[in-house]
A = this chain, B = another copy of it.
């Protein structure tokens, strides 16, 4: 299958996961989680968001967490790449204050979602990026881009592929090094994934694209497989499937990192991540959350043959 060996896993549990949980982990718990993820071999970890704690109280400790992580990483010349989500200039100033080496910006692919989520049009959100990108360039901060509702919008339903491609191109031209194509509400199926990524590949280098799938309807791994089969090599995931509650209707979140690594281990595709360490992290994390973690591999583990009968 297509060039490039191995895949890159971008761990978003500390951000996209925790921001959708009712359990508000302490900064110490988050630090421990970061250490475990990093020890498991994950090289790209989003640790939080510089957003108003009024909007997202779960992200209030992001600055404090960054101050516990970033100086040590820089001192040790670690290869672990940490990032935070930044919605606007104010967030960018916090990111610079925290000396974060990478930020992520985000835009929606449907006007209704943009309006509801960040109270502005897609055009306006791109205007907000300008001063952020300018500062990022000045301070040599890498910028990743997220596009949400690429496969469907909770308000408008269908989202046109042409619109997603146009917005992705626009974001890429601003200077982001990678664009994560998000199935925010977890509606995508593999045919749609194949079709959209094929169109995106014509507009952008496929190495610059990532897949960000939510497992709301159980299709996330099938979608990852479909994206992999058309050449996508970067995938976002959350340890344990954080952000999704298997008990509550409608609440399934990011695909679980354990499940993604299990999938690729089985396909002999390198992730650089140690599944056993992820499973240990899941076992450590589980009692700290108020619900069972959705990861299926996290729940049952790898198969352990009992021995011949």
User: Which listed segment binds B: A48-56, A89-97, A248-256?
Assistant: A248-256
A75 lies within 8 A of chain B by Cβ: no
Point out which of A263, A266, A267 has the most chain B C-beta atoms below 10 A from its C-beta.
A266
A222 touches B308 (CB 8 A): no
A116 lies within 8 A of chain B by Cβ: yes
Point out which of A221, A265, A295, A308 has the most chain B C-beta atoms below 10 A from its C-beta.
A221
CB nearest neighbor in B for A244: B296
**Can you list 7 A-B pairs, Cβ within 8 angstroms, ordered by A?**
A189-B263, A189-B267, A218-B256, A219-B259, A221-B222, A249-B299, A252-B296
A305 touches B267 (CB 8 A): no
A167 lies within 8 A of chain B by Cβ: no
A2 lies within 8 A of chain B by Cβ: no
Question: Given the complex, which residues of B lie within 8 Å of A216, measured CB to CB?
Answer: 296, 300
Question: CA separation between A216 and B296, bound complex, in Å?
Answer: 7
User: Which listed segment binds B: A4-12, A79-87, A138-146, A151-159?
Assistant: A151-159
- Residue of B112, B226, B263 touching A308 (CB-CB under 8 A): B112
A24 lies within 8 A of chain B by Cβ: no
Question: Number of residues in A with C-beta < 8 Å to the partner?
Answer: 55
Could you list 11 further interchain pairs (A-B, Cβ under 8 angstroms) beyond the known A189-B266, A191-B269?
A111-B308, A112-B309, A116-B309, A154-B303, A154-B306, A155-B307, A216-B296, A217-B262, A218-B259, A222-B225, A246-B246
A268 lies within 8 A of chain B by Cβ: yes
Which A residues are closer than 8 A to B by beta carbons?
Answer: 111-113, 115-116, 152-157, 185, 187-192, 215-219, 221-222, 224-226, 229, 246-247, 249-250, 252, 256, 259, 262-263, 265-269, 292, 295-297, 299-300, 303, 305-309
CB nearest neighbor in B for A228: B190
Give the Cβ gap from A125 to chain B, nearest Cβ, in Å: 14
